[in-house]
Amino acid sequence: MAVHEHPHRSSGFRVSFRRNRTGSSSELAVSAVSDTDTVGAYVLASLRLVTGFVFLWAFLDKTFGLGYATPSGKGWIDGGSPTKGFLSSVAAGPLESTFHSWAGDTWADWLFMLGLLGVGLALTAGVALRLAAVAGTAMMALMWMAEWPPAKHLSDGSVSMSTNPFADYHLIYAVVLIALAVAAAGDTLGLGRLWARLPFVRTNAWLR
């Protein structure tokens, strides 16, 4: 009798053991995926905050003349122009004369500075990332055309020193902005979730 019962007990034990192992493996896999998603969300949030600081710092430096890219006393509040120096020095590309004509214009200064401030605040807070991506990409596209990386030589014949005919840092910033908007990177370490719950945002997805 005992000889007949022993295999049944052993078989039952093995089936139960296999089920436990399968369940544990599934739980571990789910946990690993969850951990990866969490890490990815924080990496994107960090990228968002750093990129936001790039835009905000440019705005602050050009506004107050903090002594970095903009010398002290040459800030926007001191009567300086945020666009005159850059646009008047454009020396290559099909829009060279157009950029020269825009340099220092009041409307160009305001649009440029509001763009820096708006994109910087949106990225830092994690809200309106789609709008920030559109505005920021437009700004980067114009700056890319102003520097015109495809040119090997400037209009005066000197070597342009371009390091790449297409992919420069303006293009990288544009891609980053688009990626942050698509990934809803404002939901982590930002106000993205709260922003998305607002009635006017729920009815206008482009504000998300």
Indicate if the pLDDT at residue 10 is higher than 70.
Answer: no
pLDDT confidence of residue 122 = 98
Q: How far apart are CA 104 and CA 145, in angstroms?
A: 18
pLDDT confidence of residue 33 = 62
Q: How far apart are CA 64 and CA 71, in angstroms?
A: 9
Give the torsion through C-alpha atoms of 136, 140, 142, 143, to 10 deg: 140
Q: How far apart are CA 203 and CA 150, in angstroms?
A: 42
| pTM, full prediction | 0.84
Indicate if the pLDDT at residue 9 is higher than 50.
Answer: no
Residues 152-202: tens digit of each pLDDT: 999 999 999 999 999 999 999 999 999 999 999 999 999 999 999 999 999
- Is residue 36 very low, low, confident or very high in pLDDT (cuts 50, 70, 90)? confident
Residue corresponding to tokens 């053991």? 17
pLDDT confidence of residue 13 = 41
Q: How far apart are CA 208 and CA 205, in angstroms?
A: 5
Read off the amino acid at residue 13. Answer: F
Q: Determine what percent of the chain falls in helix, strand and coil, rounding each to the nearest 5.
A: 70, 0, 30
Q: How far apart are CA 48 and CA 55, in angstroms?
A: 11
Overall average pLDDT of the 118-140 stretch: 98
pLDDT confidence of residue 146 = 98
Q: How far apart are CA 14 and CA 7, in angstroms?
A: 11
pLDDT confidence of residue 86 = 96
- The HSE-up count of residue 29 (CA atoms within 13 Å, CB side) is 6
Least confident interval from 10-14, 74-78, 94-98, 144-148:
10-14
Residues 83-96: tens digit of each pLDDT: 999 999 999 999 99
- Percent over 70 (pLDDT), the chain: 84
Q: How far apart are CA 76 and CA 113, in angstroms?
A: 9
- Across the chain, mean pLDDT equals 89
Nearest to 187 by CA among 11, 40, 77: 40
Q: How far apart are CA 120 and CA 171, in angstroms?
A: 17
Indicate if the pLDDT at residue 143 is higher than 70.
Answer: yes
